[in-house]
Amino acid sequence: MDRAALFDVDGTLVDTNHLHVVTWWEALRQAGHTVQMPAIHRAVGLGSGDLLEHLLGKDRDRDRDADISAAHKALFGTYFERLPAFSAAGELLRTLAGQGWRIVLATSAGGPELAALRRAIDADEAISDTASADDVSEGKPAAEPVEHALELAGVPAKHAVFVGDTVWDMEAASRAGVPAVALLCGGIPRADLERAGAGSVYRDPADLLSRLGESPFGAAGTDDSHSDR
Protein backbone atom coordinates (compact mmCIF):
# COMPACT_ATOMS: atom_id res chain seq x y z
CA MET A 1 0.00 0.00 0.00
CA ASP A 2 1.37 3.43 -0.96
CA ARG A 3 1.61 5.81 1.99
CA ALA A 4 2.57 9.49 2.15
CA ALA A 5 4.18 11.50 4.92
CA LEU A 6 3.45 15.18 4.28
CA PHE A 7 5.62 17.70 6.11
CA ASP A 8 5.47 21.41 6.69
CA VAL A 9 9.00 22.85 6.82
CA ASP A 10 9.34 26.17 8.69
CA GLY A 11 9.04 25.54 12.43
CA THR A 12 8.54 21.81 11.82
CA LEU A 13 11.80 20.60 10.30
CA VAL A 14 13.82 23.83 10.38
CA ASP A 15 14.07 26.23 13.34
CA THR A 16 12.98 29.39 11.51
CA ASN A 17 9.76 30.64 13.09
CA HIS A 18 11.44 33.20 15.30
CA LEU A 19 13.61 34.37 12.42
CA HIS A 20 10.40 34.98 10.48
CA VAL A 21 8.94 36.88 13.44
CA VAL A 22 11.92 39.23 13.65
CA THR A 23 12.16 39.79 9.90
CA TRP A 24 8.42 40.40 9.49
CA TRP A 25 8.54 42.77 12.49
CA GLU A 26 11.35 44.75 10.87
CA ALA A 27 9.68 44.79 7.46
CA LEU A 28 6.46 46.05 9.04
CA ARG A 29 8.37 48.64 11.10
CA GLN A 30 10.05 49.96 7.97
CA ALA A 31 6.58 50.45 6.47
CA GLY A 32 5.41 52.39 9.52
CA HIS A 33 3.49 49.61 11.29
CA THR A 34 3.93 48.69 14.94
CA VAL A 35 2.93 45.05 15.41
CA GLN A 36 3.73 43.06 18.52
CA MET A 37 5.92 40.03 18.01
CA PRO A 38 3.53 37.51 19.68
CA ALA A 39 0.90 38.45 17.10
CA ILE A 40 3.40 37.94 14.27
CA HIS A 41 4.43 34.59 15.75
CA ARG A 42 0.86 33.31 15.62
CA ALA A 43 0.56 34.44 12.00
CA VAL A 44 3.73 32.68 10.82
CA GLY A 45 2.82 29.87 8.45
CA LEU A 46 0.37 31.95 6.45
CA GLY A 47 1.29 33.10 2.97
CA SER A 48 2.53 36.69 2.87
CA GLY A 49 -0.75 38.21 1.66
CA ASP A 50 -2.81 36.32 4.23
CA LEU A 51 -0.28 37.14 6.96
CA LEU A 52 -0.51 40.87 6.23
CA GLU A 53 -4.29 40.74 6.17
CA HIS A 54 -4.29 38.82 9.46
CA LEU A 55 -2.00 41.40 11.10
CA LEU A 56 -3.06 44.66 9.45
CA GLY A 57 -6.66 43.99 8.46
CA LYS A 58 -8.59 44.35 5.24
CA ASP A 59 -8.56 48.16 5.39
CA ARG A 60 -4.77 48.44 5.08
CA ASP A 61 -3.12 50.11 2.10
CA ARG A 62 -2.74 47.01 -0.08
CA ASP A 63 -0.43 48.90 -2.42
CA ARG A 64 2.25 48.53 0.28
CA ASP A 65 1.90 44.73 0.55
CA ALA A 66 4.44 43.95 -2.16
CA ASP A 67 7.04 46.26 -0.61
CA ILE A 68 6.55 44.80 2.87
CA SER A 69 6.76 41.24 1.56
CA ALA A 70 9.87 42.08 -0.46
CA ALA A 71 11.50 43.61 2.63
CA HIS A 72 10.72 40.49 4.66
CA LYS A 73 12.11 38.27 1.90
CA ALA A 74 15.32 40.29 1.72
CA LEU A 75 15.76 40.33 5.50
CA PHE A 76 15.07 36.61 5.86
CA GLY A 77 17.38 35.92 2.94
CA THR A 78 20.35 37.07 5.00
CA TYR A 79 19.94 33.85 7.02
CA PHE A 80 19.80 31.43 4.09
CA GLU A 81 23.31 30.06 4.55
CA ARG A 82 22.86 29.33 8.26
CA LEU A 83 19.30 28.10 8.73
CA PRO A 84 19.30 25.46 11.50
CA ALA A 85 17.41 22.21 11.06
CA PHE A 86 15.90 20.72 14.19
CA SER A 87 17.74 17.76 15.65
CA ALA A 88 16.92 14.52 13.83
CA ALA A 89 14.81 16.27 11.16
CA GLY A 90 16.71 14.71 8.28
CA GLU A 91 16.94 11.37 10.06
CA LEU A 92 13.18 11.35 10.56
CA LEU A 93 12.58 11.81 6.83
CA ARG A 94 15.15 9.18 5.89
CA THR A 95 13.69 6.69 8.39
CA LEU A 96 10.16 7.14 7.08
CA ALA A 97 11.33 6.88 3.48
CA GLY A 98 13.15 3.68 4.40
CA GLN A 99 9.88 2.31 5.76
CA GLY A 100 8.13 2.95 2.47
CA TRP A 101 6.55 6.34 3.11
CA ARG A 102 6.59 8.83 0.24
CA ILE A 103 7.89 12.11 1.68
CA VAL A 104 6.32 15.28 0.29
CA LEU A 105 6.99 18.75 1.67
CA ALA A 106 3.98 21.09 1.84
CA THR A 107 5.26 24.57 2.54
CA SER A 108 4.48 28.24 1.98
CA ALA A 109 8.13 28.73 1.01
CA GLY A 110 9.25 28.72 -2.59
CA GLY A 111 12.19 29.56 -4.82
CA PRO A 112 15.54 30.31 -3.15
CA GLU A 113 13.97 30.15 0.31
CA LEU A 114 12.75 26.59 -0.23
CA ALA A 115 16.16 25.64 -1.62
CA ALA A 116 17.82 27.01 1.53
CA LEU A 117 15.42 25.09 3.76
CA ARG A 118 16.12 21.86 1.89
CA ARG A 119 19.85 22.41 2.26
CA ALA A 120 19.34 22.80 6.02
CA ILE A 121 17.36 19.55 6.28
CA ASP A 122 19.98 17.73 4.20
CA ALA A 123 17.75 14.79 3.29
CA ASP A 124 17.00 15.34 -0.39
CA GLU A 125 17.40 11.65 -1.11
CA ALA A 126 14.36 10.97 1.10
CA ILE A 127 12.10 13.68 -0.35
CA SER A 128 9.89 12.55 -3.23
CA ASP A 129 8.38 15.92 -4.08
CA THR A 130 7.46 19.40 -2.84
CA ALA A 131 4.18 21.28 -2.87
CA SER A 132 5.41 24.86 -2.54
CA ALA A 133 3.82 28.29 -2.59
CA ASP A 134 4.79 28.46 -6.26
CA ASP A 135 2.36 25.63 -7.08
CA VAL A 136 -0.92 26.67 -5.44
CA SER A 137 -3.31 29.61 -5.60
CA GLU A 138 -4.22 29.50 -1.91
CA GLY A 139 -1.93 28.84 1.03
CA LYS A 140 -2.68 27.29 4.40
CA PRO A 141 -5.09 27.17 6.16
CA ALA A 142 -6.80 26.36 2.86
CA ALA A 143 -6.74 22.68 2.00
CA GLU A 144 -5.09 23.25 -1.40
CA PRO A 145 -1.42 22.86 -0.33
CA VAL A 146 -2.19 19.55 1.39
CA GLU A 147 -4.40 18.36 -1.46
CA HIS A 148 -1.65 19.20 -3.95
CA ALA A 149 0.84 17.26 -1.81
CA LEU A 150 -1.53 14.27 -1.92
CA GLU A 151 -1.71 14.52 -5.72
CA LEU A 152 2.08 14.56 -5.95
CA ALA A 153 2.28 11.53 -3.65
CA GLY A 154 -0.44 9.72 -5.57
CA VAL A 155 -2.31 8.61 -2.47
CA PRO A 156 -5.75 9.31 -0.96
CA ALA A 157 -6.05 11.32 2.25
CA LYS A 158 -6.66 8.21 4.35
CA HIS A 159 -3.24 6.85 3.36
CA ALA A 160 -1.37 9.98 4.43
CA VAL A 161 -0.21 11.71 7.61
CA PHE A 162 0.55 15.43 7.82
CA VAL A 163 3.12 16.89 10.23
CA GLY A 164 3.21 20.60 11.04
CA ASP A 165 3.68 23.13 13.81
CA THR A 166 1.00 25.82 13.42
CA VAL A 167 -2.77 26.03 13.71
CA TRP A 168 -2.78 26.84 9.98
CA ASP A 169 -1.11 23.48 9.29
CA MET A 170 -3.63 21.63 11.42
CA GLU A 171 -6.59 23.39 9.81
CA ALA A 172 -5.28 22.73 6.30
CA ALA A 173 -4.75 19.04 7.03
CA SER A 174 -8.18 18.72 8.63
CA ARG A 175 -9.87 20.38 5.65
CA ALA A 176 -8.07 17.97 3.34
CA GLY A 177 -9.13 14.99 5.46
CA VAL A 178 -5.56 14.04 6.40
CA PRO A 179 -4.67 12.98 9.99
CA ALA A 180 -2.56 15.73 11.54
CA VAL A 181 0.48 15.41 13.79
CA ALA A 182 1.67 18.58 15.54
CA LEU A 183 5.14 19.45 16.77
CA LEU A 184 5.65 21.95 19.60
CA CYS A 185 9.05 23.17 18.38
CA GLY A 186 7.42 25.98 16.39
CA GLY A 187 6.35 27.59 19.65
CA ILE A 188 2.56 27.27 19.34
CA PRO A 189 0.75 26.03 22.49
CA ARG A 190 -0.39 22.44 22.50
CA ALA A 191 -4.00 23.35 23.31
CA ASP A 192 -4.20 25.64 20.26
CA LEU A 193 -2.85 22.90 18.00
CA GLU A 194 -5.29 20.33 19.34
CA ARG A 195 -8.23 22.71 18.93
CA ALA A 196 -7.16 23.23 15.31
CA GLY A 197 -7.26 19.49 14.60
CA ALA A 198 -4.02 17.89 15.81
CA GLY A 199 -4.62 14.26 16.66
CA SER A 200 -1.11 13.69 18.06
CA VAL A 201 1.41 16.10 19.55
CA TYR A 202 5.19 15.68 19.92
CA ARG A 203 7.92 18.01 21.09
CA ASP A 204 10.04 18.04 17.93
CA PRO A 205 11.29 15.76 15.12
CA ALA A 206 13.61 13.89 17.50
CA ASP A 207 10.71 13.12 19.86
CA LEU A 208 8.52 11.92 16.98
CA LEU A 209 11.35 9.76 15.64
CA SER A 210 11.95 8.17 19.05
CA ARG A 211 8.23 7.31 19.34
CA LEU A 212 7.56 6.50 15.70
CA GLY A 213 6.18 3.05 16.43
CA GLU A 214 3.44 4.41 18.68
CA SER A 215 2.67 7.39 16.44
CA PRO A 216 0.23 7.48 13.50
CA PHE A 217 3.22 6.40 11.38
CA GLY A 218 3.50 3.15 13.33
CA ALA A 219 1.68 0.03 12.23
CA ALA A 220 -0.25 0.09 15.51
CA GLY A 221 -0.54 3.90 15.78
CA THR A 222 -3.59 5.14 17.65
CA ASP A 223 -5.52 8.40 17.60
CA ASP A 224 -4.60 9.14 21.20
CA SER A 225 -0.85 8.64 20.69
CA HIS A 226 0.78 11.63 22.44
CA SER A 227 4.16 12.52 23.77
CA ASP A 228 5.33 15.40 25.99
CA ARG A 229 3.10 13.97 28.68
> What residues contact residue 45 under an 8 Å CB cut-off, 6+ apart?
8, 10, 11, 108, 140, 164, 165, 166, 167, 168, 169, 186
In a domain, 39, yes or no: yes
Determine the pLDDT at residue 134.
76
In a domain, 224, yes or no: no
Q: Do 50 and 95 belong to one domain?
A: no
In a domain, 223, yes or no: no
Determine the pLDDT at residue 40.
98
Tally Cβ neighbours within 10 Å of residue 31. 16
CB-CB contact of 9 with 83 (8 Å): no
Determine the pLDDT at residue 226.
47
In the chain, the number of structural domains is 2
Q: Do 136 and 196 belong to one domain?
A: yes
Q: Which stretches in the chain have pLDDT values below 70?
A: 219-229
Determine the pLDDT at residue 229.
44
Write the pLDDT tens digit of every residue in 218-228. Answer: 953 334 444 45
We report the CATH number of the domain holding residue 74 as 1.10.150
In a domain, 219, yes or no: no
Write the pLDDT tens digit of every residue in 114-128. Answer: 999 999 999 999 999
Nearest to 160 by CA among 141, 175, 146: 146
Burial 162-197 (b: 16+ CB within 10 A, else e): bbbbbbbbbbbbbbbebbbbbbbbbbbeeeebbebb
Q: Do 207 and 105 belong to one domain?
A: yes
CA angle 38, 109, 48 (to 5 degrees): 50
In a domain, 221, yes or no: no
Range of the domain at 178: 3-16+84-214
State phi, psi for 163 to the nearest 5 degrees: -120, 125
Sheet holding 127-131, edge to edge: 127-131, 101-106, 3-7, 160-164, 180-183, 200-202
> What residues contact residue 9 under an 8 Å CB cut-off, 6+ apart?
105, 107, 109, 114, 117, 121
Determine the pLDDT at residue 219.
53
Q: Do 89 and 69 belong to one domain?
A: no
Determine the pLDDT at residue 109.
86
Q: What share of the chain is helix, strand, coil (3-state, %, to 5)?
A: 50, 15, 35
Question: Is-above-0.85 flag for pTM?
Answer: yes
CB-CB contact of 13 with 7 (8 Å): yes
